[in-house]
Structure 1
């Protein structure tokens, strides 16, 4: 049984500063920002997806608010220029903005290409198809407004598997030559090239077989080395997801398993990686279930985004990451 992303309005917000909003239009500065984990304490957030544009890092997430199941009604955005002070841009898109979707805003990723912004999402497809599907919206800024780029799903559920959630968790890498690649999938991992228009697959997908792969892939590149980070599980001894990764000399492979990057998230079956370089440092974003809001505790259905620094070895491998309260903060945590 799959556990996944997050969304929906929460009962509380962080105290706002008394000054006028700063940063991009429609933004609200967060008062209690200190760079410690969890990064955001005004709502539950999950499946973090970072994007750097100019001198600002945007962080997109699902808005968790479930009880006994996932309830994920919208995608929200935050941004920062220093990894300490964050601006809350609120909800900027819902899965029902896609005419083919009935809801469930699962994992997503935003990428820029050719001066436009493409938002790849997981959402529930309407009947008669049903099941999860991957869509893509397009806009002219990191905060939109966004519109369905196709009027139909980019990837529909794979009928060759028993899961109605096979097609989830899209991740996109735009290579140095402008070629874009899309990876996705639960239990089965698929990789396909995108056409230059960014909204069509350029040929049939290839299935990759990575050690203990379960879901939540994330593609990134550092130098000449390609990385595929993902949520992994080794049964029966492992009960909750961990993060593992593989590297390759090109997107064509071969992909070499490099081991576990970090362990299980606290108080959450799922853990979901997002990796980005910002102002000379590399950051690992993930979620756990530790945030309490107005006395209501976090859980695997009410998760919160956190971040840690990444340290690379001389051979390009990543040093194991310890999940901490301190996170990327340089000062004391409140």
Structure 2
């Protein structure tokens, strides 16, 4: 048995994890912090992809997607979410829009989990003018997508306010009305997953961000707030959870400022095991420098 160690990626700064399991391998997608030491601002141009079959050894896959691969984007490679359906991989990403004020969400598609990913719409999926009037230019951050058991897909996202909507069958458009979810302390970093008939919506709670979560028997709610899932992550003001099952265990990915010169703008992805109680609630995650034992 070996420990993975945390952070799990040590040769560069990574943030905002999203992951999927495909062909018995974990594919981990992250943001890429490039702010020089002493610079306290988000400098994020592209995303990273790593894969592993044991949570110990991670292979890097380069040149998968950058913010300006969306021709309508001016930059800002923020948090993402990836899903697989019908042999294709759909990667939803938050960026800065070039001509519409504020952040926006696009989708890039590939026939393989390592890309290269391309923008089939050549336009944003979600822009600020699609929402009720707001002064919050960061409102369209941190998408999270789920394909439900009936084949319907839904996207959750937001900053300060959580929104959700159904997706069209082709996963490339919004179907119906964009709705708002009243969640206590919602800051950003939504993550949606489902297990044993329960829907779980985890998110950054307060600022600096802990991670809290709510549960529901329906994707449309009502949502029952369950409290804190993960405490403050050291010297990093933000957090963004990702929860997956792999080989009969559940794992909680997050980021902290754990590398040398790390911090809120030089973050690093970590992983610890996640445990459920008999009633379906999740136990508070214990963050460790040892990581997971496999």
Q: TM-score range by the shorter chain?
A: over 0.9
Aligned-pair Cα RMSD in Å: 1.2
1:96 aligns with 2:96: no
Q: Structure 2 length as normaliser, TM-score?
A: 0.96
CA distance in 2, matches of 1:92, 1:35: 25
Alignment of 1:312-327 (within 5 A): 312-327=276-291
Kindly provide the CA deviation profile for residues 106-164 of structure 1, in whole angstroms up to 9, marking residues without a partner as x.
Answer: 0001110111100100001002x131100001110101121102111000024611111
Greater mean deviation of Cα atoms: 84-93 or 135-144: 84-93
Q: Report runs of 4+ in structure 1 exceeding 6 Å deviation.
A: none
1:44 aligns with 2:13: yes
Which of 150, 153, 163 in structure 2 is aligned with 1:180? 153
CA distance in 1, matches of 2:96, 2:216: 32
Say whether the 8 Å CA contact 1:79–1:86 is kept in structure 2. Answer: yes
Say whether the 8 Å CA contact 2:3–2:291 is kept in structure 1. Answer: no
CA distance in 1, matches of 2:40, 2:162: 28
CA distance in 2, matches of 1:96, 1:109: 17
1:247 aligns with 2:218: no
For 1:162, the equivalent position in structure 2 comes to: 135
Alignment of 1:190-209 (within 5 A): 190-209=163-182
Kindly provide the CA deviation profile for residues 27-83 of structure 1, in whole angstroms up to 9, marking residues without a partner as x.
Answer: xxxxxx951100010100000001111110000001111122000010000111011
CA distance in 1, matches of 2:145, 2:210: 21
CA distance in 2, matches of 1:78, 1:34: 18
1:278 aligns with 2:246: yes
CA distance in 2, matches of 1:55, 1:321: 24
CA distance in 2, matches of 1:264, 1:276: 21
Say whether the 8 Å CA contact 2:89–2:109 is kept in structure 1. Answer: yes
CA distance in 2, matches of 1:271, 1:168: 13
1:300 aligns with 2:239: no
Kindly provide the CA deviation profile for residues 207-255 of structure 1, in whole angstroms up to 9, marking residues without a partner as x.
Answer: 000111110000000111000000011xxxxx51000000000102111
Kindly provide the CA deviation profile for residues 188-217 of structure 1, in whole angstroms up to 9, marking residues without a partner as x.
Answer: 100100010101011111100011111000
Unmatched runs of 5 consecutive residues or more in structure 1: 1-32, 234-238
Which of 233, 242, 252 in structure 2 is aligned with 1:265? 233
Number of residue pairs matched? 288
Cα deviation for residue 91 of structure 1 reads 3.7
For 2:293, the equivalent position in structure 1 comes to: 329
Which of 109, 123, 143 in structure 1 is aligned with 2:81? 109
Say whether the 8 Å CA contact 1:72–1:104 is kept in structure 2. Answer: yes
Relative to its length, the structure with more strand (as a share) is: 2
For 1:144, the equivalent position in structure 2 comes to: 115
CA distance in 2, matches of 1:97, 1:84: 31
SS at match of 2:175: coil
Unmatched runs of 5 consecutive residues or more in structure 2: none
Say whether the 8 Å CA contact 1:34–1:85 is kept in structure 2. Answer: no
CA distance in 1, matches of 2:259, 2:64: 23
